[in-house]
Amino acid sequence: MNKTKKIVLGLGALALALAIGTFASSASAYKGDPSVKGPNYSTERHEAMEKAFETKDYTVWKSLMQNNGRVTQVVNKDNFAKFAEAHELAEKGDLEGAKKIRQELGLGLGNGNGKGTGNGQNRSNCVNR
């Protein structure tokens, strides 16, 4: 293989690796961080989610989630108030407090120690974390 082909293949491999890395980090960056807008973000959905969290309305939250992500398998009517508390803490900047609650619920562990495999598309709120 000549030098030009090696360079082109190397650059192609590098571009592919960067694209995969960028996708992976953008796909998980919003989880637990209210400052990052998730892939399903819209102003209308955000406002509806905020209201659902403020009023602790599980039914509205569940309908907005449309069974997307593992979070909809973990969060239920009985633990939604706790989940809403995690959301509120995260919005106030207490990401550690929010993370602790999410871990208690079995979310965001990423290591299989929670309820499920930890691989989940944890799209829990208005910014789809």
Is 54 part of any domain?
Answer: yes
List b or e across 6-24, with b for residues whose CB sees 16 or more CB atoms inside 10 angstroms: eeeeeeeeeeeeeeeeeee
Read off the pLDDT of residues 69-121 as tens digits, 9 standing for 90 and up: 889 999 999 999 999 999 999 999 999 999 999 999 999 766 444 444 444 44
Q: Is the residue at 115 inside a domain?
A: no
pTM for this predicted structure: 0.60
Residue 126 located in a structural domain? no
> Per-residue b/e over 77-108, b at no fewer than 16 CB within 10 Å?
eeebeebbebbbbbbeeebeebbebbeebbbb
pLDDT of residue 118: 40
Count: domains in the chain: 1
